[in-house]
Amino acid sequence: MSGGPSLDVESAFFAKGAASVGGMDEVGRGALAGPVCVGVVVVDSATPAPPDGLADSKLLSPKRRRELAPALVEWGSGRALGWASAEEIDCHGIVAALRLAGLRALSELVSQPEVIVLDGKQNWLGPPADLFAQGEAAGPNVHVKVRADRLCASVAAASVIAKVARDQRMVELAAAHPVYGWEANKGYGAPAHLEALRRFGPCDLHRRSWSLPVAAPGLGG
């Protein structure tokens, strides 16, 4: 895919002596219900070009993400997912929950990447004091890069595998909580989800510390 994410950023770290780079991205940060998921994909100097059509998960249709997922399971030298629940988000806050999910993802890897690239401006993987640190932060191995999910193939791959996994998780959870329409909205604030919250109130998988719609008097089921 012309203009899509490449291994240029990762290769720059290889040129500086790093043996491996782990691209990480999170999914579900802005949802009203369900867990957050962090994906990590590790690449090294022997990793080939990414699968055709790879892009930031937000730029791909659900069908295209599902089609890419099998190829991404075979690409790179390692990959893993980490999760943090709605209860953990309520208890610790979203940034701490992202950190928890990210560390869980890293713990699933056989070997740790020497460099980690995070998408965005926030170093949510490091200590709170380093949250808005620029460039390398929370130790020399974490690099924060704006638009990394559109530039770095490892980060884009992590975003896709995390999005596919979280979408599937929300479809499974929807079976026990059908009124909220999670099979379609995946826990985000779609109109039907907001209306269900006003009508039925939240369930145990909603992030109750967030500003959820209040159930209207006289409604409920």
The CATH number linked to 46 is 3.30.420.10
User: Quick check: is 196 in a domain?
Assistant: no
User: Quick check: is 153 in a domain?
Assistant: yes
Say if pTM beats, i.e. exceeds, 0.85.
Answer: yes
The answer to whether the CB of 179 falls within 8 A of the CB of 33 is no
User: Quick check: is 198 in a domain?
Assistant: no
User: Quick check: is 189 in a domain?
Assistant: no
Confidence of residue 126 (pLDDT cuts 50, 70, 90): confident
Q: What pLDDT, on the 0 to 100 scale, is given for residue 22?
A: 97
Q: What pLDDT, on the 0 to 100 scale, is given for residue 216?
A: 61
The answer to whether the CB of 36 falls within 8 A of the CB of 101 is yes
State pLDDT tens for residues 78-95: 999 999 999 999 999 999
Confidence of residue 214 (pLDDT cuts 50, 70, 90): confident
Query: What is residue 33's DSSP assignment?
Result: B
Q: What pLDDT, on the 0 to 100 scale, is given for residue 4?
A: 87
- Range(s) of the domain holding residue 75: 8-173
Domain count across the chain: 1
User: Quick check: is 202 in a domain?
Assistant: no
User: Which residues, in sequence order, are CB contacts of 186 under 8 Å at separation 6+?
Assistant: 28, 31, 34, 166, 167, 170, 171
Query: What is residue 59's DSSP assignment?
Result: G
| Count of residues making up the chain | 221
55 has pLDDT over 80:
yes
> What one-character-per-residue DSSP string does 162-197 give?
HHHHHHHHHHHHHTT-GGG-HHHHTTS--HHHHHHH
State pLDDT tens for residues 20-47: 999 999 999 999 999 999 999 999 999 9
User: Quick check: is 131 in a domain?
Assistant: yes
Lateral strand order in the sheet of 115-119: 78-84, 36-44, 20-27, 115-119, 142-145, 135-137
Burial of 200 (0-12, 13-18, 19+ CB in 10 A): middle
User: Quick check: is 199 in a domain?
Assistant: no
